[in-house]
Amino acid sequence: MPDRATALRVLLRGCLRRCPNCGDPGPYRWWWKMRLRCRKCGIHFEREEGYWTGAMAINLIFTELVFAVIMIAAVIETWPDVPMLPLLLVGLAVNAVVAVTFYPIARTIWIAIDLLLHPLEADEVRETTELRRLRDQTTAHV
Ligand SMILES: [Zn+2]
């Protein structure tokens, strides 16, 4: 397990949609389109089949927390005449927008958590080292 400063740095990179392993800002081609590998350190983001289940759980928890905070605040603010239909519509919109918007961040947070709990294995390190070596050779001859 890495020390606290390293763990915080890795988690912060994940929260900022950066590669948790090296901090490169480019894991995504655009908001939702993730590259297969980090363009700087070469790690393969989807480390095994079914890997994004953890990201989906993070996304669901965050979305429902936002939903709960908004709903509780609205009920407290409008009590005792709670406008149920408008509140229901706002709740549906919040769930859709937050879930779709936050998912890319949930993915990089999940990669960070996974890297902290399950550091790169020897074959992954060899693979990324080889890819970086090949990339450097290719760019050196251009
Ligand atoms: Zn990286």
Q: Considering the entire predicted model, what is its pTM? A: 0.89
Q: What single-letter amino acid sits at 83?
A: P
- Domain interval for residue 18: 4-140
Within the chain, where are the H helices? Answer: 4-15, 53-78, 84-117, 122-140
Residue 138 has pLDDT above 80, yes or no: yes
CA of 125 to the centre of ligand 1 (A): 12
What is the CA(38)–ligand 1 centre distance, in A? 5
In contact, 66 and 98? CB cutoff 8 Å: yes
Distance 98 CA to ligand 1 centre (A): 26
Domain count, the chain: 1
Q: What is the mean pLDDT of the chain?
A: 94
Please say whether the beta carbons of 13 and 19 come within 8 A.
Answer: yes
Q: What is the pLDDT of residue 142?
A: 59
- Residues 55 and 45: their CA atoms lie apart, in Å, by 12
**Tokens 């519509």, residue located:** 89
59-96 tens-digit pLDDT: 999 999 999 999 999 999 999 999 999 999 999 999 99
